[in-house]
Amino acid sequence: MEGEAMVTERSGADILIEALTDLGVEVVFGYPGGAVLPIYDAIFNQTRIRHILVRQEGGAVHAAEGYARATGKPGVVLVTSGPGATNAVTGIVDALMDSIPLVIITGQVPTGLIGTDAFQECDTIGITRHCTKHNYLVKDPAKLGDIVHEAFHIATSGRPGPVVIDLPKDVQVATAAYRKPGTANLPHKGYRPQVKADPSLIGAAVEMIASAKRPILYTGGGIINSGPAASQLLRELQRLTGAPVTSTLMGLGAYPASGDAWLGMLGMHGTYEANMAMHGCDLMICLGARYDDRVTGRLDAFSPDSTKIHIDIDRASHNKTVQVDLPIVGDVGRAMEDMIKMWKASQHHKPDLTAWWAQIEEWRARDSLYFPPSDTEIMPQEAVRRLHEATKARKPIITTEVGQHQMWAALYMGFEGPNKWLTSGGLGTMGYGLPAAIGAQLGNPNALVIDVAGEASIQMNIQELATATQYKLPVKVFILNNEYMGMVRQWQDLTYGGRHSHSYSDSLPDFVKLAEAYGWTGIRIEGPDELDAGIARMLETDGPVMVDCRVSKVANCFPMIPSGAAHTEMILHANEVSGEMDDEAKALV
Amino acid sequence: MHIRTEKAERHTLSVLVDNEAGILARIAGLFSARGYNIESLTVADVTEDEKISRITIVTSGPRGVIDQIISQLDRLIPVHKVTDLTELGAHVERELALVKVRGTGDHRIEALRLAEVYRARVLDATTSSFVFEVTGGSEKIDKFLELMREVGLIEVARTGVAAIARGRDAA
Ligand SMILES: Cc1ncc(C[n+]2csc(CCOP(=O)(O)OP(=O)(O)O)c2C)c(N)n1
Ligand SMILES: [Mg+2]
């Protein structure tokens, strides 16, 4: 800090704020503590970045995920050292699994105290090393600017993911010069994700599609991550090729649920036609999905007779579980654009897939989304269907918790566009939905945002009700209250002879009173005759609303491919299936 | 139910990385997190400015797992390049071992004779012991140690494998 210095020096905390502002950050989700007080003081002195105070750090990360998924921009989190950082870990893993771009800034004890078991010290770098795309311990404020810029570049490019910046308190206070770096100056020269796919491979893919008799487009979250243009390109690729489209849980909305070629979601709780078409296709075109075990079922029986094309920006996704014939590394949106160009240039006609579609219609006729209706109690599927009918005109953003309600929302909501469906797919984190809805609402103030929840999951981050109240966010929480950890109970029904070990949601709070205690409106829906009116009241009510919708306690989620079974071994709309499985099946996830 | 295992191949990987704090933990942790084997791992910086290190990893696993290991390493941010030297074919691998042997009389003479056959150098000697330095491929060193065990092996320090492609070009 010599007086004659040409560039003014500022504190690490100010450099952080400056860099975040340069990167276009508008919202930070955070929670203060000793090790981040200098940053909080820097936040106090400015108006460019809005800080949203959550009620637990876990909520901050999920809110940032919701914000990112709904806006396409990276989510930013600020938490203190020790317990602040450890509370954030679940959300960080969640973002890694679902490829959500996040930058998480964690406070750390001063550099001199690192390694001494200081108050609120934990090895944040060690803990998060393998659940981040990358992480940094910053020891010099002069390097902080470059690191923040690189962290955003890494989080948002290639296969997106969470990046942690661990910032010791003395580095927040010490001063240095900050200049906005160009991407050429970033520290890691080796990081160059391959965005453009090899044209010869794209050409090969186009020829394969043109000559396929039974093609299928198997789409995933990569299309959403690629940006809204990729969803449009998918639709055009479908129009040109005439191929049917299915999607993973993470990719819903990329192709419209009302589209003619839509087969519904695939996988463990996917539709019969989607799974049978995956099984029976002669060409599988996997676009930004990763052959997850929830999609493939038993690997040795997975689509045995198909040729497989796999386009993914992450080379490590290729041949990880399923061997593919044509792996292509690149951004899926760009790759589809190139495929469309080549398709047109080679003047391919739309292939005649009449026989394939006739076969698919037969599978569709099984109506795998049918469920037994009831006059006396609300069927959860019916509740979601009514919710969809009542809200679809407003193109709502739907978040979920984890469990049966999540699958029902995926199957019965019907998504027409990208960035409208926010769910914890890879990690399956209960407690995701409410904070994610808060983040989504912040990024889209005028949107209708609904968390379709379970009565068990919603309690995992219930404290975030206060965050919505504080920031006047009109989030809606629609609880499908079956008084069970329904998905656990379902597996116990199917695998453990119906022994419901600790899956009953005992001692539930009165959700209406709970909502009111937090300044929300609470609504209870008891029976089928109250369903539509209850939903209507939720939608009419300004401000945040929590609906306790009492649904059938025993309904199970079908269709289902039992764990370890093949796509052809689906259980369709069974009323009650009970049984015991052998040890091999019990050992599967 | 019993746990099943698959047939493994041995591969030597050469990985160029940014020489920065935590890089070894990143690599080693990737192997443990994903259940890959490490038979040997060596590391040292290899450029004039000390900014790049070469890590040589000997690993084993089924073919598909080896491919995954390479892809997973490649995706770490500080990794510049991963080369599968085993797949490449022509390359040399060397390891160095320091071997302490104790014995008198015939055992002592036998130890010296064997050391000569294996071109091991004597780095330290007392009336009842030797420290040998031996270099070579891992198998040669294994064999040397096996023989030394019979004449009085006390302790061993091995460097692990360093490897490089043959010929005039960088791999
Ligand atoms: C943090 C966390 N703990 C445990 C689980 C395992 N789990 C998956 S679904 C589920 C039950 C969810 O119950 P509820 O929220 O009521 O949803 P429902 O299945 O009844 O719709 C549990 C415990 C999980 N996914 N996440
Ligand atoms: Mg429940």
Pocket flag, ligand 1, residue A456 (CB < 6 Å): yes
Domains B9-88 and B92-163 share a fold: yes
pLDDT, block means (10 residues), chain A with 589 residues: 66 98 98 98 96 98 98 98 98 98 98 97 97 98 97 98 98 96 85 96 98 98 98 98 98 98 97 97 98 93 96 96 97 98 96 98 96 95 98 98 98 98 98 98 98 98 98 98 97 93 98 98 98 98 98 94 85 68 73
Pocket flag, ligand 1, residue A56 (CB < 6 Å): no
Q: A459 catalytic, yes or no?
A: no
**Facing A188 at nearest CB: one of B1, B68, B78:** B78
Rounded CA-CA distance A514/A33 in Å is 28
The answer to whether residue A578 sits within a structural domain is no
Regarding whether A323 and A256 lie in a shared domain, the answer is yes
Strands B9-18 and B52-61, how do they pair? antiparallel
Regarding whether A206 and A173 lie in a shared domain, the answer is no
User: Atom of ligand 1 at shortest distance to CA of A487?
Assistant: 19
pLDDT tens, residue by residue, B102-124: 999 999 999 999 999 999 999 99
Which H or E run includes B140? helix B138-151
Residue type, B144: F
Q: What is the dihedral of CA B137, B141, B146, B147, to 10 degrees?
A: 110
Catalytic residue, candidates A9, A26, A73, A120: A120
DSSP string, A412-448: HS---STT-EE---SS--TT-HHHHHHHHHHH-TTS-
* Domains held by chain A: number: 3
Q: A546 catalytic, yes or no?
A: no
In this prediction, residue A2 carries a pLDDT of 46
Note the ligand closest to the C-alpha atom of A94: 1
In this prediction, residue A206 carries a pLDDT of 98
- CA A462 to centroid of ligand 2, rounded, Å: 15
- Given A339, A364, A389, the domain boundary residue is A364
Looking at domain B92-163, its CATH architecture is: 2-Layer Sandwich (3.30)
**What range does the domain containing A213 cover?**
199-364
Q: Could you tell me if A326 and A204 are in contact, meaning their C-beta atoms sit under 8 angstroms apart?
A: yes
Query: Please, what is the average pLDDT of chain B?
Result: 95
The overall longest dimension of chain A from CA atoms, in Å, is 82
- CA A504 to centroid of ligand 1, rounded, Å: 11
Write down the residue that tokens 């450890």 correspond to: A86
Exposure string (b/e) for A338-359, b if CB count within 10 Å is 16 or more? bbbebbeeeebeebebeebbeb
Regarding whether A387 and A360 lie in a shared domain, the answer is no
State which residues have CB under 5 angstroms from ligand 2, the bound ion: A 454-455, 482, 486
What phi-psi label fits residue A93: left (phi over 0), alpha (psi between -120 and 50 degrees) or beta? Answer: alpha
Residue B85 has pLDDT above 50, yes or no: yes
Regarding whether A95 and A231 lie in a shared domain, the answer is no
Which residue CA neighbors atom 3 of ligand 1 most closely? A430
In this prediction, residue A574 carries a pLDDT of 64
Q: Do A154 and B77 touch (CB under 8 A)?
A: yes
**Is the omega angle on the peptide bond into residue A559 within 30 degrees of 0, that is, cis?**
yes
Q: Could you tell me if B132 and B96 are in contact, meaning their C-beta atoms sit under 8 angstroms apart?
A: no
**CB < 8 Å to A188, chain B:** 18, 77-78
Catalytic residue, candidates A133, A169, A308, A420: A169
Q: What is the pTM of this model?
A: 0.95
Note the ligand closest to the C-alpha atom of A431: 1
Looking at domain B9-88, its CATH architecture is: 2-Layer Sandwich (3.30)
Regarding whether A57 and A152 lie in a shared domain, the answer is yes
Question: Half-sphere exposure of A243 toward its Cβ, with a 13 Å CA cutoff?
Answer: 32
Pocket flag, ligand 1, residue A403 (CB < 6 Å): yes
Regarding whether A386 and A307 lie in a shared domain, the answer is no
For chains A and B, count residue pairs whose Cβ atoms are closer than 8 Å: 49
Pocket flag, ligand 1, residue A480 (CB < 6 Å): yes
Pocket flag, ligand 1, residue A430 (CB < 6 Å): yes
DSSP string, A443-464: H-TTS-EEEEEETTGGGGGGGG
In this prediction, residue B1 carries a pLDDT of 77
Q: Among candidates A485, A491, A489, which has minimal Cα distance to A585?
A: A491
Rounded CA-CA distance A578/A190 in Å is 54
Q: A511 catalytic, yes or no?
A: no
- Given A142, A162, A185, the domain boundary residue is A185
* Cβ count near A513 (within 10 Å): 10
Q: A120 catalytic, yes or no?
A: yes
- Given A332, A364, A396, the domain boundary residue is A364
In this prediction, residue A186 carries a pLDDT of 87
Rounded CA-CA distance A486/A497 in Å is 15
The answer to whether residue A1 sits within a structural domain is no
CATH number for position A403? 3.40.50.970
Regarding whether A174 and A273 lie in a shared domain, the answer is no
Regarding whether A466 and A526 lie in a shared domain, the answer is yes
Instruction: Dump strand ranges (E) for A295-410.
Output: 307-312, 326-329, 397-400
Interface of B with A (CB under 8 A): 1, 16-18, 21-22, 25-26, 29-30, 33, 64, 67-68, 71-72, 74-81
Looking at per-residue pLDDT, the higher value among A186 and B164 belongs to: B164
Instruction: Dump strand ranges (E) for chain B.
Output: 9-18, 40-45, 52-61, 79-84, 91-102, 121-126, 129-136, 153-158, 162-165
Rounded CA-CA distance A291/A273 in Å is 18
Q: Among candidates A27, A21, A418, which has minimal Cα distance to A253?
A: A418
Pocket flag, ligand 1, residue A492 (CB < 6 Å): no
In this prediction, residue A578 carries a pLDDT of 63
